[in-house]
């Protein structure tokens, strides 16, 4: 907060100058600056604009990806090429540069009069084959592009996240700049850069809460909180070393915390002392704990490991547990099961049903990591398939009109490996308070040393979810 006051004072005094990358502050003025969630703090001016820059911004000596400027600052969306780079001219005279042609991407969030709901301005390069007399289009909400350009005959085209398909004259001639207004800033994957395999994420009414696989660590299942799915803070663990369940020995995998009635239940996988992977449950008064284990497995089979539990509620208010039989560990198929839960969420009732099995070529020997969402008369079962340790791992989806099926699978995975992110999978799918749908999942980092946490927006088209241009590599508007 103190650093924001320093910048505001510099801007008011005129001491800030446009240097190198055009960031509006001197390098020495931002020493010790720390990243904060987007939005305005009490330290910022009564009328100010927060400008966040895309990942190609050239900013030597400036550790942060944003500036706070006095007054209302705008941009018309024009991106000017200069040499191998490009630049924009903002209404206050700042001139930020970006690496590459037509590479300008910025967000503008203001508390001044004239602030708008989230919208995107897409401005086209001169090679654009005009669909109208203007040089740009404005769209409500968030629109983005992964910079893929497809050649068709003597021209080329791009596909934007909202389905728009602008054409350009010449091969590989796609060029666009993106301005986001009132969308809360920008982010870039990963949203958590350290090991966080199998993220289970919910919104508890106040904040997002995530927990991840911890393996054999003394404190099982770290808990982190976030106001926006991007900035995460450690908040303890489901099972500190002194509270680990006595029936479980190791392999603490795939936890999820769900609200059940007036309390929260953590469903998780652990290896029983007799050697079988089993599903446990622990209750708590809040999503942050403290958690008290059931004292025995919720699902246990001495002949087959049972893992990857999730919970969902149908439109009638009944709850269901969905999980995977670990058949791939013993050379067998891997059915994903579903069964109704008791009202307290601590026992199974009714009949177990097989929802899907690994019967598609892309799934290889595995389907696992289920997550179920009810929407518009369907139950959507998100799942992961193939080998978690390499680039074959991917996310698929199936849907049904009843909570326990029968489920029909989409024809192909909706999220798979791209350059920069290998083996994306084991997702949570969250409806945000703002009404967006976001997929949070893991993928291997470049060094293949950790599965880190990523987030990308889900869109719904023709009755199916899609995660366009994901896993994302460059800057995106906040989810």
Query: Does 379 lie in the same domain as 233?
Result: yes
CATH number, domain of 214, equals: 2.115.10.20
Exposure b/e, 440-463, CB count within 10 A at least 16 = b: bbbbbbeeeebbbbbbbbbbeeee
Residue-wise pLDDT for 414-460, tens only, equals: 999 999 999 999 999 999 998 999 999 999 999 999 999 999 999 99
Confidence at 5, pLDDT banded by 50, 70, 90: very low
Tell me: do 107 and 226 sit in the same domain.
no
In a domain, 104, yes or no: yes
Average model confidence (pLDDT) across the chain? 91
In a domain, 462, yes or no: yes
Number of domains in the chain: 2
Considering the domain architecture, whether residues 371 and 299 belong to the same structural domain is answered as yes
Confidence of residue 41 (pLDDT cuts 50, 70, 90): low
User: How many Å apart are CA 64 and CA 36, to the nearest integer?
Assistant: 10
Same domain, 215 and 361: yes
Task: Indicate if 376 and 298 belong to the same structural domain.
Answer: yes
Tell me, yes or no, whether 56 lies in a domain: yes
Per-residue pLDDT at 113: 87
Question: Distance between CA atoms of 400 and 20, rounded to whole angstroms?
Answer: 56
Nearest to 347 by CA among 274, 272, 259, 267: 267
Mean pLDDT of 316-335: 95
Q: Does the pLDDT at position 35 exceed 70?
A: no
Query: Residue 145 gets which letter from DSSP?
Result: -
Q: How far apart are CA 267 and CA 439, in angstroms?
A: 19
Structure-token pair, residue 170: 């010449």
* Residue 340 exposed, middle or buried by CB count within 10 Å (0-12, 13-18, 19+): middle
User: What proportion of the chain, given as a percentage, has pLDDT over 90?
Assistant: 89
* Residue 123 burial (CB count, 10 A): 23
Tokens 């009638």 correspond to 316
Q: Is 30 helix (H, G, I), strand (E, B) or coil?
A: helix
Task: Tell which of 185, 218, 245 closes a domain.
Answer: 185
Contact 229/191 with Cβ under 8 angstroms?
A: yes
> In the structure, what pLDDT confidence band is assigned to residue 40 with cuts at 50, 70 and 90?
low
In this structure, of 27-41, 115-129, 255-269, 288-302, the range with the lowest mean pLDDT score is 27-41
Domain's final residue, options 185, 220, 248: 185
Question: Which of 85, 86, 48, 80 lies closest to 67, judged by CA?
Answer: 48
Closest to 269 in 3D by CA, of 250, 244, 283: 250
List pLDDT tens digits, range 259-289. Answer: 999 999 999 999 999 999 999 999 999 999 9
For residue 310, is it within any domain?
yes
Distance CA 143, CA 163 (A): 9
Whether residues 241 and 364 fall in one domain: yes
Last residue of a domain, one of 151, 185, 219: 185
Same domain, 127 and 208: no
Counting residues of the chain whose pLDDT is more than 70, the rounded percentage is 91
Q: Is residue 152, in this structure, part of any structural domain at all?
A: no
Do both 254 and 372 map to the same domain? yes
Is the domain of 127 the same as that of 205?
no
Q: What is the pLDDT of residue 410?
A: 98
Sign of CA dihedral 383, 388, 393, 394: positive
296 within a domain of the structure (yes/no): yes
Cβ neighbours, 10 Å, residue 9: 13
Q: Tell me the residue range of the domain where 369 lies.
A: 200-477
Q: Please state the φ and ψ torsions of residue 315, each to the nearest 5 degrees.
A: -70, -15
Instruction: Indicate whether 239 belongs to any domain.
Output: yes
251 with 372, same domain: the answer is yes
Strand partners, 97: 87
For the stretch 54-76, pLDDT in tens is: 999 999 999 999 999 999 999 99
* 46 falls within a domain: yes
**Looking at the structure, do residues 405 and 296 belong to the same domain, yes or no?**
yes
- If asked whether residues 293 and 404 sit together in one domain, one would say yes
Report the length, in residues, of the chain: 479
pTM as predicted: 0.89
Average pLDDT over residues 308-331: 96
């Amino acid at each position: 907060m103190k650093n924001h006051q320093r910048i505001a004072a510099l801007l008011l005094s005129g001491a800030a100058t446009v240097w190198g990358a055009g960031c509006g502050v001197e390098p020495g003025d931002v020493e010790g600056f720390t990243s904060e969630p987007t939005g305005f703090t009490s330290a910022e001016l009564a009328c100010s604009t927060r400008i966040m820059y895309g990942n190609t911004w050239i900013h030597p000596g400036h550790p942060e990806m944003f500036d706070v400027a006095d007054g209302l600052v705008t941009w018309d969306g024009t991106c000017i090429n200069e040499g191998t780079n490009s630049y924009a001219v903002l209404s206050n005279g700042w001139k930020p540069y970006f690496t590459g042609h037509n590479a300008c991407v910025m967000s503008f969030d203001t508390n001044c009069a004239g602030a708008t709901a989230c919208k995107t301005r897409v401005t086209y390069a001169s090679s654009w084959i005009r669909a109208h007399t203007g040089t740009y289009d404005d769209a409500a909400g968030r629109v983005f592009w992964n910079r893929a350009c497809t050649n068709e005959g003597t021209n080329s085209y791009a596909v934007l996240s909202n389905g728009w398909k602008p054409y350009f004259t010449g091969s590989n001639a796609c060029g666009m700049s993106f301005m986001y207004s009132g969308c809360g800033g920008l982010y870039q994957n990963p949203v958590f850069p350290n090991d966080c395999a199998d993220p289970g994420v919910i919104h508890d009414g106040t904040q997002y809460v995530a927990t991840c696989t911890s393996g054999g660590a003394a404190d099982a299942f770290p808990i982190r909180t976030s106001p926006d799915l991007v900035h995460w803070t450690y908040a303890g663990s489901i099972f500190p070393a002194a509270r680990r369940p006595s029936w479980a020995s190791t392999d603490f995998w795939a936890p999820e915390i769900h609200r059940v009635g007036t309390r929260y239940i953590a469903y998780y996988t652990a290896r029983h002392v007799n050697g079988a992977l089993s599903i446990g449950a622990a209750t708590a008064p809040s999503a942050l704990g403290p958690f008290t284990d059931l004292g025995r497995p919720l699902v246990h089979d001495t002949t087959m490991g049972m893992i990857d539990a999730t919970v969902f509620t149908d439109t009638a208010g009944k709850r269901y547990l969905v999980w995977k039989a670990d058949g791939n560990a013993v050379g067998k198929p891997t059915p994903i099961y579903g069964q109704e839960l008791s009202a307290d969420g601590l026992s199974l009732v009714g009949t177990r049903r097989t929802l899907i099995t690994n019967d598609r070529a892309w799934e290889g020997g595995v389907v696992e990591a289920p997550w179920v969402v009810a929407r518009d008369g369907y139950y959507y079962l998100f799942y992961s398939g193939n080998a978690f340790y390499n680039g074959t791992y991917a996310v698929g989806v199936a849907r049904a009109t009843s909570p326990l099926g029968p489920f029909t699978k989409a024809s192909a995975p909706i999220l798979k490996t791209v350059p920069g992110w290998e083996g994306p999978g084991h997702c949570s799918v969250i409806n945000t308070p703002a009404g967006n749908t976001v997929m949070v999942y893991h993928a291997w980092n470049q060094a293949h040393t950790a599965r880190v946490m990523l987030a990308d927006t889900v869109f719904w088209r023709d009755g199916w979810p899609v995660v366009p241009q994901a896993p994302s590599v460059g800057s995106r508007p906040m989810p």
